[in-house]
Structure 1
Amino acid sequence: MGRPVGRGHPDHVLLAASGAAQHNGRPAAGGPRVGRRGPGHRDVRVRSPSQDRIATGDSAHSRWHTDIARARGRCGDARGVRQRRRARAADRHRIQAFAAHGAHHRRRPGRRAGAAGGLARHGRGEVPRTEGVAVKRLAALVATAGLLAGCGLETTYTLPFEVGPGSITAIPELSGVDVAVGSKDFTESHVFGYIAEVALTAAGADVRDMTNIQGSNSARQALLTGDIDLSWDYTGTGWISYLANTTPIPDERAQYDAVRDADLAKNGVVWLPYSAVNNTYAFAVTQEFAKANNLKTTSDMAALIKKDPSKGIFCLETEFVSRQDGFPGVAKAYDFDPRAVQVKVFGTGTIYTATAGGNCNFGEVFTTDGRILALNLVVLEDDKKFFPQYNATITLRKDFNEAHPQVAQVMAPILAKLDNDTMRKLNAEVDVDGRDPAVVARDWLVHEGFVTAR
């Protein structure tokens, strides 16, 4: 399970080490975890924030990712992110070909082969399937060479569309202000990043797109060093991975308050206002099973299992089965016997479809995953707050926030509008419908009246 309680998304792996987690870096309920991966991401191992980033996936992918990662290490963290993503624009075809190699080689369902792939095609046309591996290797070499030759070179990548004012109007103090917006390398973080980019563009800022940084620690380091000016993050990640606490705070707002205050005091990082988006662990069931058994909460689930153990059929990730911050911990907190139930082990990417298809009655899920909506699943409330809270909001350095307080003013009403239902819908538009995250972000902002399309 990827995001140990710092979990990730599809096919994320909960690493047992207690170091800082990658991606969202979420540690699970009993202590710190490494490697939360967002919907469908590769595992990322980082030796240090400025050293190699090595993405493990199919072997062909990993090889040139390693070269680029090393180049990035020599040039400084977030520099060149966009060049790498442009070179990966054609990867979707190759990833499809590699799918047959087995689940452990697949890109997780939420992972887009370079979130900017769709956007980059606006500028240079589609890459035919027939171009093959040779062209992709050439693209990798060009990207690597560009990073080595262009150390310190700033990205000039911009949105492929124009937006106008809505409730967000041009702010004179932001006119011409350079704002580098970062994100982690999974769907939800991409959407968050583009929401900020579109909103700030409408307010008059000169936005630089630095989204898709691999791993929580890399994105965090880019923020601290000034390679990016703002990035979205999660309270559980901040509390456990960045601030090195081992015990999460059960209440969402109390957890947010604690992270906000401690990170500002210790690291000079400002957390913008609380949002209701909480991408944590939960169990999901089908609509039919929920209705037939009157299930709304995890306590309802536990009561059903104690009454009729034969209905306790679970689809879980490998490590979630045995970790104390996983299934055994849940069973203890909700007082049911884990030995009395049947457990089927799946990769995260298949748990959703296995649950929807009736292979199990309860599936381990992430609460804002778009497949919950697409497959019409019901999320059971963690009413005893066993899992850590992962509320999302924007983080930025104190000096940047003080120099440009208008950024917080622009984003505040957007943060107030976001919730889990909204993010499931937006994530599904990307992961299920195949839409580009930048366009999804813009369309939502237009729909809510924040900006207008041009």
Structure 2
Amino acid sequence: MISLHRTRALAAGLAAATLFLATSCAGDDLGNDGDKSDSSTDRGAVSISGQDFPEAALVAAMYDQLLTDAGYDTDVKLVSARDGYMPTFPKTIDIVPEYVGGIVNFLNSRENGDSAKPFEAGDGEQLAEDGADLLDGAGITLLDVSPATDTNAFFVTKQYSEDNGVTTLSDLEGKSVTLAAAEDCEGRLDCEGGLSDQYGIDITEVLPLGYASDATYDAVIKGEAELGETSTTDGTLESRDLVVLDDDQQIQPAQNLVPAVSSDFLDEHPDVADVLNPLMAALTTDKLTELNARVAVGREKVEDVAADFLSSEGLTD
């Protein structure tokens, strides 16, 4: 365990119904005590938050089921962006499914300003070590870093790529484009900020339509935006005649999955590490992609996919 007192190929390509499903599962099903298994041990309450895009909702469902099985009374509330929960984490939130680069650079920007040099390590363990002081100052501990990783990616239509000779983000240098992306994309070093400053792309407008949402896909397909935000594990783009542009200047830091826990809560409940760390070890990028595909393409319920994976890996009975 790394104790430090950190805006994804089928995973993130989603139809509107899928996003609604994941949000519904996060807001309702995950917090529905009637769906939880009984436990002979009452370990008290635990609050879980995080983002509500399907992959994060899937991992939150796994946390929920594992902690419930361990005897905790869970309360899960997911929101649309990291900005929605970080103001109260870890004060009123105990655990968040996170990405190493995402939380470390969020804390870096909050502490040192939006112009602060980002943490860029491509290795999740190293990035967590680099952000140790920030995490400690925030009262957040990262548990084991998973080998499963997922980073932001940006796409255009195949027609736009062919007509403009664009295959990398550097090919957009000096071009004026509208970007459809997550609600908190503007100014972020791994989103609009990096595209503007590092790549020299003229982002004329950011449409806050959601991360890998149906609205974001539609905006690019219909020509309302030239560029859209998704993830490196999005395998639904080809069927939509969309292509990811290569991040040839590598502005995306390591985004390994990791449980972020209130340090105070962990001091009182050290067994939480024993509950969640085996899940981190079991998850790989390929497995996560397959699980996300079951939600995005197979239209399975988030909680059902989570339960099946936990059982198949021997993490629950």
1:44-96 Cα shifts (integer Å, max 9, x gaps): xxxxxxxxxxxxxxxxxxxxxxxxxxxxxxxxxxxxxxxxxxxxxxxxxxxxx
2-side partners of 1:400 and 1:444: how far apart?
27
Contact 1:256 1:391 in 2 (8 A): no
1-side partners of 2:186 and 2:68: how far apart?
47
Q: Pairwise mapping of residues 391-402 of structure 1 onto structure 2 (< 5 A)?
A: 391-402=256-267
Q: 2:42 aligns with which of 160, 169, 176?
A: 176
Q: How many residues align?
A: 288
Contact 1:229 1:396 in 2 (8 A): yes
Q: Tell me the CA shift for residue 271 of structure 1.
A: 0.8
Q: Tell me the CA shift for residue 354 of structure 1.
A: 6.8
Q: 1:283 aligns with which of 154, 161, 175?
A: 154
2-side partners of 1:386 and 1:193: how far apart?
27
Q: Normalising by structure 2, report the TM-score.
A: 0.65
2-side partners of 1:221 and 1:158: how far apart?
26
The verdict on how the C-alpha distance between 1:109 and 1:200 changes in structure 2, with shifts beyond 3 A counting, is: closer
Residue 415 (1) aligns with residue 286 (2): no
2-side partners of 1:328 and 1:314: how far apart?
14
The verdict on how the C-alpha distance between 1:214 and 1:353 changes in structure 2, with shifts beyond 3 A counting, is: closer
1:179-209 Cα shifts (integer Å, max 9, x gaps): 414122513332222111222334x323323
One-letter identity of the residue aligned with 1:268: G
Tell me what 1:273 maps to. 144
Q: Give the aligned CA root-mean-square deviation in angstroms.
A: 4.9
Contact 1:272 1:395 in 2 (8 A): yes
Contact 1:353 1:375 in 2 (8 A): no
Which secondary structure does the structure 1 equivalent of 2:261 belong to?
Answer: strand
The verdict on how the C-alpha distance between 1:424 and 1:115 changes in structure 2, with shifts beyond 3 A counting, is: same
1:362-415 Cα shifts (integer Å, max 9, x gaps): 85333167xx22344665553432235544311222233233332212322321
Tell me what 2:3 maps to. none
Q: Tell me the CA shift for residue 268 of structure 1.
A: 2.6
One-letter identity of the residue aligned with 1:316: L
Unaligned runs of 5+ in 2: 1-6
2-side partners of 1:199 and 1:324: how far apart?
33
Tell me what 1:193 maps to. 60
Q: Tell me the CA shift for residue 270 of structure 1.
A: 0.8
Q: Pairwise mapping of residues 48-447 of structure 1 onto structure 2 (< 5 A)?
A: 110-112=19-21, 114-115=24-25, 119=29, 157-158=32-33, 160=35, 162=37, 175-186=41-52, 187-202=54-69, 204-212=70-78, 216-217=82-83, 219-220=85-86, 222-225=88-91, 227-243=92-108, 244-245=111-112, 246-252=116-122, 253=124, 254-264=126-136, 266-284=137-155, 301=168, 316-317=179-180, 329-330=194-195, 333=198, 347=209, 349-352=214-217, 363-367=227-231, 372-376=234-238, 379=244, 381-447=246-312
Which secondary structure does the structure 1 equivalent of 2:131 belong to?
Answer: helix
Q: Normalising by structure 1, report the TM-score.
A: 0.49
State the identity %.
Answer: 21
1:192-234 Cα shifts (integer Å, max 9, x gaps): 22111222334x3233232325653553455423x44322223
1-side partners of 2:185 and 2:79: how far apart?
30
Which secondary structure does the structure 2 equivalent of 1:270 belong to?
Answer: strand
2-side partners of 1:280 and 1:193: how far apart?
18
Q: Which protein has the larger Cα radius of gyration, Structure 1 or Structure 2? A: 1
The verdict on how the C-alpha distance between 1:332 and 1:220 changes in structure 2, with shifts beyond 3 A counting, is: closer
Which secondary structure does the structure 2 equivalent of 1:438 belong to?
Answer: helix
Contact 1:282 1:365 in 2 (8 A): yes
Q: 1:448 aligns with which of 299, 313, 317?
A: 313
Unaligned runs of 5+ in 1: 1-6, 9-37, 41-106, 121-154, 164-169
Which secondary structure does the structure 1 equivalent of 2:25 belong to?
Answer: coil
1-side partners of 2:96 and 2:197: how far apart?
36
Structure of higher RCO (CA pairs closer than 8 Å, 6+ residues apart): 2
2-side partners of 1:222 and 1:334: how far apart?
33
2-side partners of 1:323 and 1:217: how far apart?
13
Which secondary structure does the structure 1 equivalent of 2:168 belong to?
Answer: helix
Tell me what 1:126 maps to. none
